[in-house]
């Protein structure tokens, strides 16, 4: 069965303190791994799509990497405005369905 596990569940960082969020997945035939940012009361905002092991993508202070079993979202020198819940989702080979992880709630303290 396709599964997505994110860790840690919550993370508190001082402003400027870099860290990584983990997304472990089990899926039959990975078609894509997606990272989203979700602010309270809002829908998820697209960040990255990764398709194959070894792929990396960057956007401002965020960098996403992918292996055959997991993905990392690295946050470099975070700012308070980076505080949000970060969701990971995978799409397998069967149909369009996404499998979401439960997210990592990130708080960046000034």
> Within 81-100, which residues bind other proteins (CB under 8 A)?
87, 95-98, 100
Q: How far is the CB of 77 from other proteins (least distance, A)?
A: 26
What is the b/e burial string over 16-32, where b = at least 16 CB atoms within 10 angstroms of the residue's CB?
eeebebebebebeebeb
36 binds other proteins (CB under 8 A): yes
Quick check: helix, strand or coil at residue 81? helix
Beta-carbon count within 10 A of 72 CB: 16
* 103 is an interface residue for other proteins by CB under 8 A: yes
Instruction: Give the binding site for other proteins (CB under 8 A).
Output: 32, 34, 36, 41-46, 49, 87, 95-98, 100-103
């Amino acid at each position: 069965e396709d599964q997505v596990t994110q860790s840690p569940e919550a993370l508190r960082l001082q402003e400027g303190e870099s860290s990584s969020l983990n997304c472990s997945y089990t899926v039959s035939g990975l078609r894509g791994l997606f990272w989203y940012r979700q602010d309270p009361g809002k829908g998820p905002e697209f960040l990255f799509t990764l398709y194959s092991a070894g792929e990396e993508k960057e956007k401002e202070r965020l960098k996403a990497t992918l292996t055959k079993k997991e993905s990392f979202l690295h946050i470099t020198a975070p700012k308070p405005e980076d505080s949000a819940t970060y969701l990971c989702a995978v799409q397998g080979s069967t149909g369009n369905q996404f499998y979401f992880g439960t997210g990592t709630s990130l708080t960046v303290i000034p």
